[in-house]
Amino acid sequence: MPSTNSVGSRWLTLVPIVRGDLVRLAAAVTAAVSLAVALGLIYSVQRELNLAPYSRGLYDTTADVMFVPSDVDRVLADFGPDDTFLGAWWQASIAVPGSSATIDADVIMTLTPHTTDVSFFPAATRVDGPAAVGDDEWIDLDAALARALGVGPGDAIEIPTTGGARIPYTVRSVHAQRLDSRPYSALASAVPAFRETRGTDEETMSLLMVRGKTGPEVATILAQPFYQQRLHEGKLEEAFVTSRSSLLESVSRSSSTSIGMVLVLAVLALAGGIGMAAREIDVFGRRYEARAALLYRLGMPGRESAPFGLVAVTVVVTAALAAGGVVGSEFYTRGVLAPTLPPST
């Protein structure tokens, strides 16, 4: 019986004979798997980005309100200092220092930086950061905006104002999410922004997010004379109170795909990839049969040719599967099919 070493040595010397077929097999399987991964993930990734601010948020109730900065302490006392987020929606143009080009984005300005996890930018959607940034100069970006600006945690950006000033910020975190139909969104400290707009209507805050209270409980507090007066001053007839579950249901319905379609497309992409890989393995097997006679003439016993082919196919296909998975995910990490991959649950 030949020794294991002698069999292994013969196998190594015979690899060059089937090298071309193995390379073609590896390339075909890698391409098939990467295509299956890319297409299989595209709908589920896009759907997750749409739902993330609602499915992963820690808040329970939101309300459209009207407050001024001096109301913050009162509001926190009524709704809970650690469970209340206050914000103001800004339509802002964001630029990189030294560049005149800007990107329009919806920015939530907040005076409650300690409760940003109760906002539309929860830690569960963070994919990069947080960087160490001063309390009054941080900004969190969604992944699409960060990619469009070419920035990441620790980088400087600016928000130009109508008066010609440029408010400096430092990127703290990047989040894998998409807020409603907004192409770009961000969350930032309101301190430097309100400093520039002191005495204007832009200082008011219109977004209230609360953890641990139901819609009726929030509505009861907002029915107090103090809050009704604020609504009247802001020319609002009432505070529109909505639960997170209602927002999630609404966004889920309006999302570009249903979960059934997501699963069908993922299965079809996977089946197509498996079919392509299986076909290439079959083609390799047929070619290998033609090579077997040559291998026999070169001195390999017939009983060794089958194990040699099996081992060669196993090694190549295993490596190609791993490579294909990496290549397929690169379509997302490099922003080709989506700005990024959502964090794992």
Q: Residue 1: what pLDDT?
A: 46
Distance between CA atoms of residues 34 and 327, nearest Å: 5
Distance between CA atoms of residues 123 and 11, nearest Å: 53
Q: Residue 257: what pLDDT?
A: 53
Tell me the per-residue pLDDT of 112-159, one tens digit each, with 9 for 90 and over. Answer: 999 999 999 999 999 998 998 887 889 999 999 999 999 999 999 998
With a cut of 50, list the residues of the chain below it in pLDDT.
1, 5, 345
Residue 156's SS3 state is strand
Please tell me the pTM assigned to this model.
0.75
Q: How far is CA 204 from the centre of its chain?
A: 31
Q: Residue 8: what pLDDT?
A: 56
Q: Which residues contact 41 (CB under 8 A, 6 or more apart)?
A: 266, 328, 329, 332, 337, 341
Return the structure tokens found at 82: 């650690």
Tell me the HSE value of 56 on the side-chain side, using a 13 A CA sphere: 23
CB–CB of 288/18 below 8 Å?
A: yes
CB–CB of 75/63 below 8 Å?
A: no
